[in-house]
Structure 1
Amino acid sequence: MTIEHAVKKQTDKKNAILDSALALFVSQGFHATSTASIAKAAGVATGTLFHHFPSKDSIINHLFLNIKQEFANTITSNSQVIGDIELDANALWQSAIDWAIAQPLKQKFFLQFSLSAEINAATRQQAMNGILRFIVELIEKGQQQNIVAHYPIDLLLENCHGQYLAAIRFFTDHPELGKDASHRHASFQLFWKAIKA
């Protein structure tokens, strides 16, 4: 077996564990999901699971960061930055809504766990100030131009996050409105009015 093949095999097992954990956490909750059930669903030995992840907590936090990174990569690659704070924020917002509609299982994971105690403070910090740094920079730029309200950045970020979760919850409950331009525009305007100067 080549080194490349061995690495790919390990990566495949790790991804199978994460995919199984995602499905189980969303369908039956964090506490009702055992590491043994994750390993079984992934088709790996429990020892293999613990080789990759020391605990169930580490699985959910790793999963959270992986999904946040995918989310960030998708919305930044699908949003053209033009230098106008409101237009750039709208482009990111609409792309984020598109991602949620296209990724129902991952979006349900966000709705269930984004504000839960299972996601530790260090993971939240890494997601917000690392993976989603481009949002922090957009807010800071908006504040410098007196377009975005001069509230503490951490508080604004939490507000933005809450607004996004509310919007995707709405579109989850009313999927037929996910493509409705007036509702999509209204969802952004509610968000924008909450943060603008």
Structure 2
Amino acid sequence: MSRIDKKQAILDTALTLFVSQGVYATSTASIAKQARVATGTLFHHFASKEALMNHLFLSIKQEFADAIQSQISQKGDLKLDAQHLWQVAINWAMDNPLKQEFFQQYSMSPSISSEVRLQAMNGILGFMGELIEQGQKAGVLADYPLSLMLESCHGQYIAATRYFIDNPESWKDEEYKRSSFAMFWNAMKA
């Protein structure tokens, strides 16, 4: 197994174990054993369990952001564009339930550092802040502080994806799709 393969095996195994056992109940030794690498190999790639969790969180967040950004259309109607992005974001969660579950567990954890949280929100998802600011300047979105708007969007996304992952048949129902977006939009509109 190459060095890159070992690192990916560690990440894949950590993701599975963190979701199935919980972050705190999962030891680095159990991750290494399940990934079929030496514990020293795990620590070669990640200095600590926290570093592994942060790397996994940020890489999943980046994958999510890349999927969303690739679908930004900006046809001139902010509400329609936002609805499209909302559906793309939830589709990503539905297609990646293990990654979404880890994202939900770790992003709401008190142990995630504010530095990592800021990197995810302002760096990786910085384009969302730009879209919100455009909407505020156009008078379409409420003029609330940007950081509060971003946290509200995050919370609504977490709640919606939790519901739809637990009730996947609802995501197939157009009424539920429309309703989930309406709740999201109504919290932000001017």
- TM-score band (shorter)? over 0.9
C-alpha deviation, 1:83, in angstroms = 2.8
Could you say which residue in structure 2 is the equivalent of 1:44? 37
Give the 3-state SS of the residue equivalent to 1:195 in structure 2.
coil
Matches within 5 A, 1:68-107: 68-107=61-100
Cα distance per residue 1:77-124 (max 9 Å; x no partner):
234332321111111110001001101101111221211023211111
1:140 corresponds to 2:133: yes
Determine the C-alpha separation between the residues in 2 that align with 1:79 and 1:144. Answer: 19
Preserved contact between residue 79 and residue 95 of structure 1 (Cα < 8 Å): no
Deviations, residues 134-171 of structure 1 (Å, cap 9, x unaligned): 11000000011111111111111100000001101110
Secondary structure of the 2:30 match is: helix
Question: C-alpha separation between the residues in 2 aligned to 1:10 and 1:142?
Answer: 45
2:109 alignment partner in structure 1? 116
Q: Choose from 44, 48, 55 the match for 1:55.
A: 48
Identity of aligned residues (%): 60
- The question of 1:154 aligning with 2:161 is answered no
Residue-by-residue CA offset, 1:36-90 (whole Å, 9 max, x unaligned): 0011111111001001101001111110000001111112223433232111111
RMSD of aligned alpha carbons: 1.2
Aligned partner of 1:32 in structure 2 is 25
5+ long unaligned stretches in structure 1: 1-7
1:169 aligns with 2:178: no
Q: TM-score, normalised by structure 1?
A: 0.93
